[in-house]
Amino acid sequence: MVLPHRSWMQRVSCTIAGKMFQDVGIVGKARKLAIKKVLQAAERSSSRLWLRRNASSWKPSTNG
């Protein structure tokens, strides 16, 4: 499912990651690849959390 604001969020994330990598000296193709990998990792993590949101192991405990 693609949300309408996803492209905006990805653009902001890409800008922040790009600035961070540039600040530590990663530029050019290496920077582009690093940004791509970071965004993919974030997407996978978000997806896993979303899929597990209803799992009973993620619910607060009711046994004091």
Q: What is the pLDDT of residues 8-56, one digit of tens each?
A: 566 777 788 888 888 999 999 999 899 889 888 888 888 888 888 888 7
Query: How many angstroms separate the CA atoms of 49 and 43, rounded?
Result: 10
Distance, C-alpha 45 to centroid of its chain: 7
Range of the domain at 37: 19-48
Per-residue CA distances from 34 to 22, 26, 27, 37, 39 (Å) = 11, 8, 9, 5, 9
Query: How many angstroms separate the CA atoms of 13 and 11, rounded?
Result: 5
The pLDDT-based confidence of 1 (bands split at 50, 70, 90) is very low
Residue 3 domain flag: no
Query: How many angstroms separate the CA atoms of 21 and 28, rounded?
Result: 10
Number of domains in the chain: 1
Residue 12 domain flag: no
Residue 54 domain flag: no
User: Is the pLDDT at 63 greater than 80, yes or no?
Assistant: no
Residue 9 pLDDT: 65
